[in-house]
Amino acid sequence: MNRNKPFLRPAFFGPDGQLPVTTLAGIRLIFAALLLIGTLGDHEDPGFGWRLEFDDVFATVYLIPAVVAMILAICDPFRDFRFFPVALTFDIASLIVLMTTIERPESGFLGLIVCGITIVLLEVAFRWNIKVARLVARLFAMATLFQFALLAAATHTAALPVGVLARRYVILFLVLTVVLWALQSMRRIHVAAWHAPADVLQPEKLRVMALHYATSCMGSVGGTLCWTLAGDHGCAAAVISLGGAGDAQSATTRICAAPRDQVDYAAALVDLPTQRALVLHHDDSIRYQGLEGIDTSALQGSGYSSGILIRIAGVSGHGKVVLTGHKLRGWDRLRVGSALGAEIVRVQDRAALKSATLEIETGRIRESIARDLHDSIAQSLAGARYRIGSLRALPDLQKLAAALDEIDKDLASEQQQVRQIVEVLRSGGKFSGQTLAIAQLRSVAAALVRQWQVEIEVETGSADFLLASGLVLELTQMVREAVSNAVRHGGASRVSVALDHTGQGGFELRIRDNGRGFAKAVLAPPHSLMERASALGGTVMHSREHDETIVAVAVPSGTDR
The secondary structure of residue 4, as a DSSP letter, is T
pLDDT above 90 for 496: yes
**Spatial CA neighbour of 256 closest among 201, 320, 316, 192:** 320
CA-based angle 333:339:343, to the nearest 5? Answer: 140
β-pairing, 455-459 vs 494-501, is parallel
CATH architecture of 203-347: 2-Layer Sandwich (3.30)
β-pairing, 276-280 vs 286-289, is antiparallel
Mean pLDDT, range 383-409, rounded to an integer: 70
pLDDT tens readout for residues 341-378 = 888 888 888 888 888 888 887 777 777 777 666 666 66
Cα separation, 220 vs 331, whole angstroms: 15
More confident residue, 249 or 316: 316
Q: Is 379 helix (H, G, I), strand (E, B) or coil?
A: helix
CATH architecture of 430-561: 2-Layer Sandwich (3.30)
**Spatial CA neighbour of 172 closest among 157, 158, 159:** 157
Burial class (CB in 10 A: 0-12, 13-18, 19+), 270: buried
Amino acid present at 65: P
pLDDT above 60 for 521: no
Least confident of 16-20, 133-137, 138-142, 251-255: 251-255
Cβ atoms 347, 306 nearer than 8 A: no
Cβ atoms 551, 495 nearer than 8 A: no
Distances (CA, A) of 119 to 77, 123, 139, 520, 553: 19, 6, 12, 85, 76
pLDDT score for 494: 93
Mean pLDDT, range 62-70, rounded to an integer: 86
Residues 6+ apart with CB under 8 A from 313: 259, 260, 319, 345
pLDDT above 70 for 287: yes
pLDDT score for 46: 45
Burial class (CB in 10 A: 0-12, 13-18, 19+), 487: buried
β-pairing, 222-229 vs 237-242, is antiparallel
Q: What is the mean pLDDT of the chain?
A: 73
pLDDT score for 498: 92
pTM of the model: 0.60
Least confident of 21-30, 177-186, 216-225, 353-362: 177-186
pLDDT score for 513: 93
Phi, psi of 256, rounded to the nearest 5 degrees: -130, 145
